[in-house]
Structure 1
Amino acid sequence: MKAISPHFHRHDFCCPCGCGFADVSIELVALLEAVFEYFQQPVLIRRGCSCTQHNKACGDEYASQHLLGTAADITVEKTSPDDVANYLEATYPQKYGIGRSESWTHIDMRLTVARWRE
């Protein structure tokens, strides 16, 4: 598949169910490029876009940003999820949704500020 940025392809964001949904936000891709540049390590998309069925299968029963193509759960090679979340929170203190988990970091382009730990 064609690259949508220097380090990401549309297929990186495809819904895992195989439906083909991969309409990812350009703002999200730009933010993930900034994460790559900061850490100088590959950014792996664990979950990007989700169709309604896959979103429910993941346990999201609310209007998830993954449904809009404006969210990603990521890992950064050789970097702890807390270090990634700390960078995002310091860089975007008044923007976005940033969630922490033991094994990944969530980032989304919501219009309000949100922070949480799973």
Structure 2
Amino acid sequence: MKYFTIAEFVRSETADRSGIDNKLPKELLPNVQALITNVLDPLREAYGKPVTVTSGYRCKALNKAVGGSSTSQHMVGQAADVTAGSRKENKRLFYLIQELGLDFDQEIWEKGNSEGPDWVHVSYQEGNNRKQVLLL
């Protein structure tokens, strides 16, 4: 884990405002480490500039508070929403993940417009990645 920390993955303004304890359970740490090692660190290395995790691990209460899917990979530490600070740069991240041939489960162009997504959702699960690309 070269560029990202566990603290980034549990930080949430919604959790802070709502008094939700979003502590990562120890048994989910390997999932977060695998996502960082296999997708996020190589992405950041190739991109050459900071990439910010806007949403990483979400406990069940936080996931519900933000309107996440009941089957969200965020709840098991296998997903992160990332941004490079603008739709244009997020578009670069979105396509760079594919160009690098990173082993991801899902990559989602979240909201935004043709200029780029508001953020990029990317997930990873050990040994079972679908390479599913979605535009929402």
Short-chain TM bin = 0.7 to 0.9
**Higher RCO (C-alpha 8 Å, min separation 6):** 2
Aligned length: 114
Is contact 1:100–1:116 with CA below 8 Å preserved after alignment? yes
Structure 1 counterpart SS, 2:108: strand
Query: Once the two structures are superposed, what CA deviation does each residue of 1:62-96 show, in whole Å capped at 9, x if it has no partner?
Result: 31000000100001257621211111123337741
Between Structure 1 and Structure 2, which shows a larger proportion of helix residues? 2
Equivalent pair of 1:15/1:50 in contact (CA under 8 Å):
no
Would the aligned equivalents of 1:73 and 1:107 in 2 still touch at CA under 8 Å? yes
Gaps in structure 2 of 5+ consecutive residues: 111-116
Please say if residues 98 and 108 of structure 1, whose CA atoms lie closer than 8 Å, have aligned partners that are also in contact. Answer: yes
Write out per-residue CA displacement over residues 29-66 of structure 1, whole angstroms, 9 at most, x where no aligned residue. 11211111101101100000001111112212331000
1:9 matched to 2:29? The reply is no
Q: Is the 8 A contact 1:96 1:109 kept in 2?
A: yes
State the alpha-carbon separation in 1 of the partners of residues 75 and 109 from structure 2.
Answer: 19
TM-score by length of 2: 0.72
What is the aligned-residue identity percentage? 20
Partner in structure 1 of residue 124 of structure 2: 109
Residue among 36, 47, 60 paired with 1:29: 36
Amino acid at match of 2:122: I
Contact 2:57 2:79 (8 Å CA) reproduced: yes
Asked if 1 retains the 8 angstrom alpha-carbon contact of 2:22 and 2:58, the reply is no
Q: What's 1:47 paired with?
A: 55
| Structure whose CA Rg is larger | 2
Query: In the alignment, which residue of structure 1 is the partner of 2:97?
Result: 88
Q: Residues 58 and 20 of structure 1: is their aligned pair in 2 closer, same or farther, counting only changes over 3 Å? A: closer
- What's the Cα RMSD here? 2.1
Runs of 4+ in structure 1 deviating by more than 6 angstroms, as ranges, are: none
Give, in whole Å, the separation in 2 of the partners of 1:93 and 1:8: 17
